[in-house]
Amino acid sequence: MSFAALGLPESITRGVRAVGYTSPTPIQREAIPIILPGHDLVAAAQTGSGKTAAFILPILSRLLDGPRALRALVLVPTRELAAQVEEAAMQYARYADLSVGAVFGGVPIPPQERMIMHEGVDVLIATPGRLLDLHGRHSVSLDEVEILVLDEADRMVDMGFAPDLQRILRLLPTRRQTLMFSATMPAELNAVAREALHNPRRLALAPSVARPAPAIAQAFYPVARHLKADLLHELLERSPDRTAIVFTRTKRGADRLYRVLQQRGHKTGVLHGDRSQSQRERALRDFKRGRVEVLVATDIASRGIDVDDVTHVINYDVPRSPDDYIHRIGRTGRMDATGDAFTLITPEDREEVAAIEKTLGRRIERIELDDFDYDRRRPADAHGRHEGHGRRQEGKSRGDHRHTHVEPDVDHGRPARTRGGSHGHVPPPGGHATPAADAHGRRPKRNATDRRSRRRM
Ligand code: AMP
């Protein structure tokens, strides 16, 4: 099926062709015929499904005729997403006489005021807080808005924007078309949706949580907390051609990890809310251009990153919620690409790990790296116990990669400890026992051939 067959006009399909798309994605096929005639829509679209074009293309088409004014407003949770939607919309609109602009916090307000007041925009992409600031300064008029989009609406609610959204809804004309895209439907969003939408069509009736694309291979890597940076380094080392996003929970954690990875020779960048706008833009640009191979980021940054060919998402810290997990790993395997999603799990993460697996409806494979010393003590812990040693099983190799699988019945979050000194084990189906551990639970070193076996990661 072609874009023209969906009813999009020539000036828009030309823009789409210029970007290089040949046929619409499923969400585009479904949503465009609903949006073009003016219906309200609630759509549950997976990250990377092509949802931006699914709403921008019909919006541009609807705006082709009519007065020049701010007629379409797209609300997004983060400045990164605002910049990306703006960039995409500008490309699609390149053969249409329409202008697109974006406003978001963290940068000076006057240039944004000039853009809106003097240059004028037909489509404005905005984060809620900055839009309200601009409105409070009488720099933007929302009286002519005909189409409102709430993009990644669940994320906006997660980030505490629900009251701002409600305030914005009251500033908009009631006669308008409203489109809402959201991977999940938290209760708080229901209230916003009830107020915003009128008799909406629904697409892919939202499952309570979005499912990650099947092309993403997921694995959990149990490890003691003090060995996380070493294990991450090993995982990165064992992957020659990778572009990886590494997620941490906190901004300070991101900065710390960034420094560690740099010291160890990885081309690293960092992206989080405390970095200035120009630092964030530079990090993303360097990542897109391949100057940075490992981008350390916090969750806030996770939704907005639209970089093709991210081969790996690595959760250095387990995400707080299953939703965050799904959104983080959605950064890889975009469109039809494949990707790997690795999560380092420690004994402390047991609850979060259980929640993620419950949501996914399946258990994620645990993997241990061969030739990684899991038994190393914390430097100060001379008399402490060895962390994480004990019963390990060697399972099947995936392709030419060799790893050690932890038996399926161990606790979420770590390899089973040997209880009462026993080294007994129950081999998994088709598995082989690892070489026997010594008195300290250490396994013998492997030979050079083993060491060479690498997993593409
Ligand atoms: P989104 O889900 O909107 O973030 O889009 C994910 C990625 O898919 C972006 O990099 C888009 O450029 C790309 N994309 C969107 N629509 C198409 C299409 N019809 N064909 C190929 N790529 C697309």
Backbone angles phi, psi at 257, to 5 degrees: -65, -40
| Element (DSSP H or E) covering residue 448 | helix 448-452
Ordered structural domains, the chain, with CATH: 4-205 (3.40.50.300), 216-360 (3.40.50.300)
Reported as a single tens digit per residue, the pLDDT across 26-63 is 889 999 999 999 999 999 876 677 899 999 999 999 99
Residue 47 CA: which ligand 1 atom is closest? 2
Q: Kindly give the distance from the C-alpha atom of residue 106 to the centroid of ligand 1, in angstroms, as a whole number.
A: 27
Q: Kindly give the distance from the C-alpha atom of residue 3 to the centroid of ligand 1, in angstroms, as a whole number.
A: 13
Q: Identify the pLDDT of residue 380.
A: 61
Atom 19 of ligand 1, residue of closest alpha carbon = 24
CA 422/CA 168 separation, integer angstroms: 63
Indicate the pairing of strand 147-150 with strand 72-75.
parallel
pTM of the model: 0.57
Q: Kindly give the distance from the C-alpha atom of residue 239 to the centroid of ligand 1, in angstroms, as a whole number.
A: 26
What residues does ligand 1 touch, defined as CB less than 6 Å away? 21, 24-25, 28, 48-53, 306, 308, 334-335
CA 205/CA 171 separation, integer angstroms: 29
Residue 23 CA: which ligand 1 atom is closest? 19
Question: Which tokens in the block code for residue 434?
Answer: 């690892």
Atom 6 of ligand 1, residue of closest alpha carbon = 48
Q: Identify the pLDDT of residue 302.
A: 59
Q: Identify the pLDDT of residue 403.
A: 46
CA 453/CA 446 separation, integer angstroms: 11
Reported as a single tens digit per residue, the pLDDT across 76-121 is 998 888 998 999 999 999 999 999 999 999 899 999 999 999 888 9
**Helix, coil or strand: residue 248:** coil
Residues lower than pLDDT 70 in the chain: 46-47, 205-215, 301-308, 332-338, 379-457
Q: Kindly give the distance from the C-alpha atom of residue 310 to the centroid of ligand 1, in angstroms, as a whole number.
A: 14
Atom 20 of ligand 1, residue of closest alpha carbon = 21
Report CA dihedral (364, 212, 20, 292) to the nearest 10 degrees: -50
CA 367/CA 222 separation, integer angstroms: 7
Q: Kindly give the distance from the C-alpha atom of residue 50 to the centroid of ligand 1, in angstroms, as a whole number.
A: 4
Q: Identify the pLDDT of residue 256.
A: 96
Q: Identify the pLDDT of residue 391.
A: 29
Q: Kindly give the distance from the C-alpha atom of residue 308 to the centroid of ligand 1, in angstroms, as a whole number.
A: 9
Neighbouring CB atoms inside 10 A of 208's CB total 11
Neighbouring CB atoms inside 10 A of 58's CB total 27
Atom 18 of ligand 1, residue of closest alpha carbon = 21
CA distances from 428 to 95, 269, 360, 407 (A): 59, 40, 22, 6
CA geometry: angle 269, 294, 245, nearest 5 deg? 105
